[in-house]
Structure 1
């Protein structure tokens, strides 16, 4: 369970209700809602080849492994549109995030969109300043005019619908070892293509009414005199 200092209760509630209000919007291709999150992936290769499965004997994998470093997955998912795309990068710097946001606003899928609502956590790189650090002022301003940034509250990243999608990706793509960034990208490409073709969405159940019941301790107490 997360721990929220009492003085932050009101800020948490305000940010949470803003996010939940966004999730309550009906699907509108002119004003799509896209969630993004990022996740590190550890690269591990086998120290020696495994012994293949044979009749009466399962595959045998040596418990020793070789660390091959890390890579990062940037997840963008449109829950009501049944669409997601993941980018695998070596780093997760501010300029990386800015580059993928630029990719998002210029994606043919959103060519006719008037504004994209982008829901993400409040990591320090997820901000307008990252766009200005990566691009000239006019380009950063153009990108900002195409998006509405909505942040999950501090200690409330679980409100980001990209998190369960990352969890599904991890369980379905990385049950075993993966030794290179290219292999990570290949697995994710096949995974997202399958889910996009099947139009898999996200059935979000948590509502504002639920929050006011289950998280009532966070709501400020108003005393009437």
Structure 2
């Protein structure tokens, strides 16, 4: 836990940016509709499941920037290619990106070697440092804040297709990035040692 909190206290450094990554599922539902006696079309409570999409977010709190991607799964290959895209585009000039993410089985640097030639994988891995949130400590990942805002503002409605989700998420991302608001994380290591003393060393 303190590794994450110490990282959040460090000043902004474009050469060594701190980026939070998270994933979240969104169910696709196709609701039935009916027409009332007055001719009004209403949504029924019955629906058909159309699958699930996985939302990936990489957010840089000190810049107030985020990149979202809507994928069909959350396999290791999907995670690898999402991270690689960030390194190839937004962070191509960074010396090393310091990632904060949950310790999922798919979030391992070794998977880069399973999906890229060794030399390419090594080049990616050498530019990465991962700081995992502790078990039951996903609240330490500021990417969860992005999903919370996204869910309240645009995902609080049913979606039937993957493309619908992609369009809405892309529009939201562009609006947010057009007026960036850096996040100021208030909970410090010193606070944790006082307020969470009973949980040490379990987190």
Is 2:52 the counterpart of 1:70? Answer: yes
Residues 130-145 of structure 1 aligned to structure 2 (within 5 Å): 130-145=111-126
Report the structure number with the largest CA radius of gyration.
1
* Conservation of the 8 A alpha-carbon contact between 2:33 and 2:42: no
What residue is the counterpart of 2:10 in the other structure? Answer: 25
* Gap regions ≥5 residues in structure 2: none
The structure 1 residue matched to 2:71, chosen from 89, 104, 109, is: 89
The structure 1 residue matched to 2:107, chosen from 126, 139, 144, is: 126
* Conservation of the 8 A alpha-carbon contact between 2:32 and 2:43: no
What residue is the counterpart of 1:38 in the other structure? Answer: 23
Q: Take 1:129 and 1:29, find their aligned partners in 2: how far apart are those partners?
A: 26
Q: Could you give the per-residue CA deviations for residues 173-203 of structure 1, whole angstroms, max 9, x where no partner exists? A: 1111111110000010010100000012323
* Gap regions ≥5 residues in structure 1: 1-15, 221-225
Residues 185-200 of structure 1 aligned to structure 2 (within 5 Å): 185-200=166-181
Distance 1:77 1:210, change over 3 A: same
Say how many residue pairs are matched.
200
Which 4+ residue blocks in structure 1 deviate beyond 4 angstroms?
Answer: none
Is 2:141 the counterpart of 1:160? Answer: yes
Distance 1:60 1:201, change over 3 A: farther
- How does the TM-score come out when normalised to structure 1? 0.84
RMSD, aligned CA: 1.9
Q: Take 1:125 and 1:50, find their aligned partners in 2: how far apart are those partners?
A: 46
